[in-house]
Structure 1
Amino acid sequence: MRRAVAQTILITTLLSLSWDGFSTAKLALAQSAAQYRESGIAYRDQGQMTEAIAALQKAVELEPDYIPGYVNLGWTLHLAGQDREAADVLQTAIQRDPFHVQTFNAIGIIYLVNNDLAGAVLAHNWAKFLKPDNEIAHYNLSLAYQRVGEFDWAIEAATQAAALEPENPHPLVALAIAHWDEGDQATAQHVYQQAIDLDSRYADSGFLDYLNEAGFSPDQIEKSKQVLRSLS
């Protein structure tokens, strides 16, 4: 009887030590992964993209269940011009968690700038479903819908984006070109003037080339310049 009790105590103690050791190891890996993420983001901020990607890849390897780690890596790959690799990383994140809004925001942008409009619309609509006040999804949907000629939908999406982010001129410019393409030049001009009121740089045609960094296609940038010229 005493031997059985002693064996039970010994087994319980060993299991407890084993679990404590596992928990400690897991915590150490998580802390190490966080350090790699911090380093990766710091490298990215300094423009050292090769080092940033390597650090963020290591963070994902150390903590593969942490979905924001994939988003950090995928977005950094996108900024480095490696969109195919970025999409692959984000698809892996989606397989692990199909309800993570930031993943769909990121992959939707990558689809949009690579002119995969069907992919962009699907990704951003799902992101909008998951988070209805998701200004990123509404904004990028407006650009995608404008490109495929769905101007009413583009206007609705841009209007939502502008309401959710009233200090950002980008949704207003997107809204202006959607109204312009629909044939409502007066409203397009009025809305574009609102963008200028927020940021006077939007009165400079040369500055509008920067809109490629905000998801605008070359045609959409030229359309924005056309609306601006009409104000003169």
Structure 2
Amino acid sequence: MKKWMIIVLAVSLVLISCASNKKEVQPEQVQKAEVTTKVAILPLKALDSSSHYITKILTVRDLELTFNKYPNYTLLDMDETAAVFKESGYPDVEDLEKEEIDNLAKQLGADVIIIATVSETSSDLFNITMRIYSTVSTDLKQISFNVGKEKTARWKELEESMMKELDDFVSNEIDKLFNIAANHFNNGNYTTAEQLLKQVIALKPEKVDAYYFLGNTYVKLEKNDLAEEYFLKALEIQPDHQPTIIALIDLYDKTNQPMKRIPLMEKIAELSQDAETWFAVGNLYNQLDNKEKAKESYLKALAIDPEFSGAIVNLSIILYDEGNYSEAIPYLEKAFEEAPDNTFIAARLATAYQKSGRTQEAIDKYENVLIKDPNNIQAYLNLISIYRSMGNNAKAIEKINALKKVAPDNPYAYLNLAAIYLEQGKLNDAETNANITISKDHTLYQPYIILSSVYQSKGAESYNKYIDLDRQASRAVGKKALDLKKQRDTAKNNAINHFNKALNYLQTARNYTNDTEALNDINSRIAHINQLLSQL
């Protein structure tokens, strides 16, 4: 009898000691996150009598101390959890099925349920086996680790084993939650996606993809300020996250904020070493009239791709417009080589030579090229362009005829000849050579413009004749008046036919170019001819 009283007294002293320790040891409290993972630990089950001691210590002190150190977790009150479990009527925590665990989680408002058993492995060592259940995926994970009687070592083991495994488990569950949110986003369920992504961010604030998807969700919901906020938060975590940078660029484009857009485009261009992006940056600076930055961007594009024609052309035009003719010439030459039919470039190249006092130098340069290479078509075309810019049509025609001998099928020889004859008012010769040009290459837009000019001139001539005959007919009488009216009507019909033919050629030309300046010119010509037709 005395022996049993001593044992009861000893156990009581141990429990009093535990309670006393709980009061004496101050938990390392941390401020909890706005949203935490709520963990409920069902009553621990001791599998042998020796384990009751460690089970009680874990319940009344150790588990709470451990969870208090983690801001992303809230350990639900273990007494209340035990009460809910008791009321459920389930006889044994070890025998719980998933559906029963899930039912308890709902009653407790828990995200994670932990079921644990404790057994003695030696006099000073106890094994803790846990099943961790997630309400997100209904997955169960089992872990096992050993703890001893010495409290400091035991607390360390709880952190290094239990909490590490719990972190990994919850992290995986958050990733599953993120995937569910992403599926809602992809299916157009943006409000649900928003709610789930906010949960993911609260539980795993370093997950950059969650901010990226939430930003895109707000774009879809047309909440642009919130979209920008979350894209920027993603870049705070990972400054080189390219999908977010691109999404933010698109947002700034959509909301017309070029000054915010440009630095991001520069970052993408640097990261990807992409000439196209540097070219786009240059175009934006050009639109904002920041020519220095535009030039820098085009040069960076050319450093990556020296043959990038768009950057070559735009850089040459800026340099030309600034009056830096010497700097412009190499780029204009390269642009002209790429597009010898581009009269815009050809005219500027010739002017740049003249303005920089290098016209004769250029002529000598190309003449020397032809001495070494009599079949160099580009040299002929450059010389033709220079002579035409100088107004020396005789020399231009001389070079055109020489080119025709070397390359009889070259369309640009006949195109230049047609243009010269049009300037000289030789409409029939202009028409003939324009048609020959088309027979050599029907995709060039310039010969159609020349033919349009030919028929517009013929239409204007018939129109003037119509006006004159109409004036005469209004004054005449009898047979003379009838004859004049007949001639007037013929002149009118001829004018209409010529103008319509000019319109058809312009519409064909428009189909063969995407050059903005050329299209503006064509549209202006079409408007003018329509105005003339309206007067007939």
Q: TM-score higher than 0.5 here?
A: yes
Number of the residue aligned with 2:325: none
Number of the residue aligned with 1:82: 392
Distance 1:95 1:130, change over 3 A: same
SS at match of 1:126: helix
Partner AA of 1:184 in structure 2: S
Number of the residue aligned with 1:144: 454
Rounded to whole Å, the distance in 2 between the matches of 1:89 and 1:117 is: 21
Is the Cα contact below 8 Å between 1:49 and 1:80 reproduced in 2?
A: no
Gaps of 5+ in 1: 1-37, 186-232
Correspondence 1:165 to 2:513: yes
Q: Shift of the alpha carbon at 1:83?
A: 0.9
- The match for 2:430 among 117, 120, 130 is 120
Is the Cα contact below 8 Å between 1:141 and 1:154 reproduced in 2?
A: yes
Rounded to whole Å, the distance in 2 between the matches of 1:177 and 1:153 is: 14
Partner AA of 2:431 in structure 1: V
Rounded to whole Å, the distance in 2 between the matches of 1:53 and 1:184 is: 48
Tell me the TM-score normalised to structure 2 length. Answer: 0.26
Rounded to whole Å, the distance in 1 between the matches of 2:362 and 2:424 is: 23
Q: Shift of the alpha carbon at 1:82?
A: 0.7
Number of the residue aligned with 2:534: 184
Distance 1:82 1:177, change over 3 A: same
Is the Cα contact below 8 Å between 2:369 and 2:376 reproduced in 1?
A: no
Q: Shift of the alpha carbon at 1:135?
A: 0.6
- The match for 2:442 among 120, 126, 132 is 132
Partner AA of 1:173 in structure 2: S
Is the Cα contact below 8 Å between 1:105 and 1:136 reproduced in 2?
A: yes
Partner AA of 1:130 in structure 2: K
| Greater RCO, CA 8 A, separation 6+ | 1
Rounded to whole Å, the distance in 1 between the matches of 2:506 and 2:525 is: 6
Gaps of 5+ in 2: 1-329, 335-348, 460-497
- The match for 2:371 among 61, 84, 87 is 61
Q: Which moved more, 1:71-80 or 1:160-169?
A: 160-169
Q: Shift of the alpha carbon at 1:56?
A: 1.4
Relative to its length, the structure with more helix (as a share) is 1
- The match for 2:412 among 68, 81, 102 is 102
Is the Cα contact below 8 Å between 2:434 and 2:447 reproduced in 1?
A: yes
Deviation per residue, 1:124-146 (Å, 9 max, x gap): 11111221221111112111221
Is the Cα contact below 8 Å between 1:112 and 1:120 reproduced in 2?
A: yes
Partner AA of 2:521 in structure 1: H
Q: Shift of the alpha carbon at 1:41?
A: 4.7
Number of the residue aligned with 1:155: 503
Q: How many residue pairs align between the two structures?
A: 149
SS at match of 1:148: helix
Rounded to whole Å, the distance in 2 between the matches of 1:95 and 1:76 is: 20
Tell me the TM-score normalised to structure 1 length. Answer: 0.57
Q: What are the residue-to-residue correspondences of 1:217-228 with 2, within 5 Å?
A: none
Rounded to whole Å, the distance in 1 between the matches of 2:421 and 2:359 is: 21
SS at match of 1:133: coil
Relative to its length, the structure with more strand (as a share) is 2
Percent identity among equivalent residues?
Answer: 18
Q: Shift of the alpha carbon at 1:67?
A: 2.3
Is the Cα contact below 8 Å between 1:105 and 1:124 reproduced in 2?
A: yes
Partner AA of 2:529 in structure 1: A
Is the Cα contact below 8 Å between 2:353 and 2:362 reproduced in 1?
A: no
Rounded to whole Å, the distance in 2 between the matches of 1:50 and 1:144 is: 33
CA RMSD of aligned residues (A): 2.7
Is the Cα contact below 8 Å between 2:431 and 2:451 reproduced in 1?
A: yes
Rounded to whole Å, the distance in 2 between the matches of 1:139 and 1:92 is: 25
